[in-house]
Amino acid sequence: MVIGILLALLGGTLVCLQNTFNANVKKQVSVWSTTMLVLALGFLASFSAGLAFEGTALFRFDADLWFWFSGVVGVGVVACVTQGVQSLGPSRAISLVMVSQIFFGLAWDSLGWFGLEQVPFTFQSFLGVLIISAGVLLFQLGPALEEKARGRKQSTASRRTVKVNG
């Protein structure tokens, strides 16, 4: 379990790093050029690692045919997240991606879709998604709320100055 937690944390770090790099590439070229570059280099890296670690076993596919198309889904992932990071910044975009992943992961687990073992939907899991979503919302709105509060303080202070001097 510890290995799984460490790998998940490393995966999250790598996703954020990749999306930050992708957004910087996207500043210079189109989203489709960025997506093609990312997926082509990913193919070369995974193909090389697969050959090195698995040899010819790399070419044995046992999954249902429709699961083979996850790479096509990857095109949407890279394109959407790259655009989101460029528009919102890495922390905001990734936090929204995280909430979306948790929400849909819970839904698909609970429904047993896509070959997953059905997991009972519980109040605790629903509450967990709500708390995480509220935290992300607070994170998203925090700077705007702080700026608004600072603006009110400055406005109040300037009115006081006018009264004292006036």
Average pLDDT of span 124-130: 91
Provide the pLDDT for residue 20. Answer: 86
Provide the pLDDT for residue 159. Answer: 63
Average pLDDT of span 129-138: 88
Going by C-alpha positions, the residue among 163, 162, 160 that lies closest to residue 152 is 160
SS3 62: coil
Average pLDDT of span 153-161: 65
Provide the pLDDT for residue 33. Answer: 93
What count of residues does the chain have?
166
> By the 8 A CB rule, do 112 and 118 touch?
yes
Q: What is the pLDDT of residues 76-119, one digit of tens each?
A: 998 999 899 888 888 888 888 888 988 898 899 999 998 888 98
Going by C-alpha positions, the residue among 72, 75, 64 that lies closest to residue 114 is 64
